[in-house]
Amino acid sequence: MRPLRAFIAFLFLALGVVVGALNPGMAVVDLGIWRLEAALGVVLLAALLGGVLLGGLAMVVAVVVPLRRELRRSMPAAEPSGASVPTASTSPSSSEA
């Protein structure tokens, strides 16, 4: 699975280089109080990255947060003594060593 992820990351990196190379013209982004002049490829890639980040944030707010809230509500409350909820120890105990 790791080589596949590395290949996909390299593919997207190469795609970004191609987009930057094919769009060398200058573009001006005017945000009112701030003005940015950069290559068109850089502006396109920055806009794409910003859209991906905002979309991910919207997905977290719209899906993940409500699901976590629902999961917390649906879990039964543990007793204060903790005797009814067994826990599995992942660390080796001193008797096993």
pTM score > 0.75 for this model? Answer: no
Q: What is the predicted pLDDT for the residue at 3?
A: 85
Angle in degrees, 0-180, between the axes of helices 2-22 and 40-59, rounded to the nearest 10: 140
Ranges in the chain, pLDDT < 70: 77-97
Helix (H, G, I), strand (E, B) or coil at 45: helix
| Full residue range of the structural domain in which residue 26 is found | 20-73
Q: What is the predicted pLDDT for the residue at 53?
A: 93
Q: What is the predicted pLDDT for the residue at 72?
A: 86
Provide the Cα torsion 62, 67, 69, 70; round to 10°: 130
Total number of domains constituting the chain? 1
> Does 38 reside within a domain?
yes
Reported as a single tens digit per residue, the pLDDT across 20-39 is 888 889 988 888 898 989 88
> Does 41 reside within a domain?
yes
DSSP secondary structure, 30-43, as one string: E-SS-EEEEEHHHH
> Does 50 reside within a domain?
yes
> Does 81 reside within a domain?
no
